[in-house]
Amino acid sequence: MNKLELEILALSHSVTQSQSYAVVLKEIDGMRRLPIVIGVPEAQAIAVAMEQMKPTRPLTHDLLKNVCDTFQIQLLEVIISDLITGIFYAKLICQQGSDILEIDSRTSDALALAVRFGCPIYTYENILDSAGLTPEPSEEQPKVRDREKMPKIPKRPSRIGDFSKHDVTKLKSMLEEAISKEDYELAVRLRDEIDKREV
């Protein structure tokens, strides 16, 4: 089967399931998009890696990458390999020495690891045919490659009040505190506010 490369285009609240997010993948050499519903922790794990945030302690996916690095296991690629009754299945294609290993994975975990390893993400034509969407021309968006355009967890009302009440120094202090408490959703929103002001 012909593999098609994808890239992460966006993270957004799921329209179909409350308390969930959708990670939207885009066909690199085409127009189709593949939305996959994931949970809030999985969305945060992907966003933290894409935003290059450094938690005070390693998250589960960071720990797994550290273990792989220690034992010289390289993640070569992620393949979204199947779609059965609305559930996506993924495989991690790894290399250790001369051995190529194929490991089953939840799709959300596979994507979180792909971001950390910087490896390509693939799927098959039949999956894009059955679950892919083609946007209207007015919905076209640029590719998400550089840091300024990376997907962000959608903003919700802050639990600590309006950010406009604080200066950049205070926001940076709040950002450090959010990271130390492992509140990555708040940390992403604080980082966005700081970036907006420092432009």
Residue 184 pLDDT: 67
Residue 40 pLDDT: 86
Residue 145 pLDDT: 38
Global confidence as pTM: 0.71
- The helices-and-strands tally (H runs, E runs) of the chain is 6, 7
Q: Provide the CATH topology of domain 3-151.
A: Bifunctional nuclease domain (3.10.690)
Residue 159 pLDDT: 43
Q: What are the boundaries of each domain within the chain?
A: 3-151, 155-199
The segments of the chain whose pLDDT lies below 50 read 142-160
Residue 143 pLDDT: 43
CA atoms of 111 and 47, how far apart (whole Å): 11
pLDDT digits (tens, 9 = 90+) for 129-159: 999 998 866 555 544 434 443 444 444 433 4
Residue 197 pLDDT: 78
The angle subtended at Cα 77 by Cα 73 and Cα 79, nearest 5°, is 130
CA atoms of 83 and 160, how far apart (whole Å): 41
Residue 180 pLDDT: 72
Residue 150 pLDDT: 42
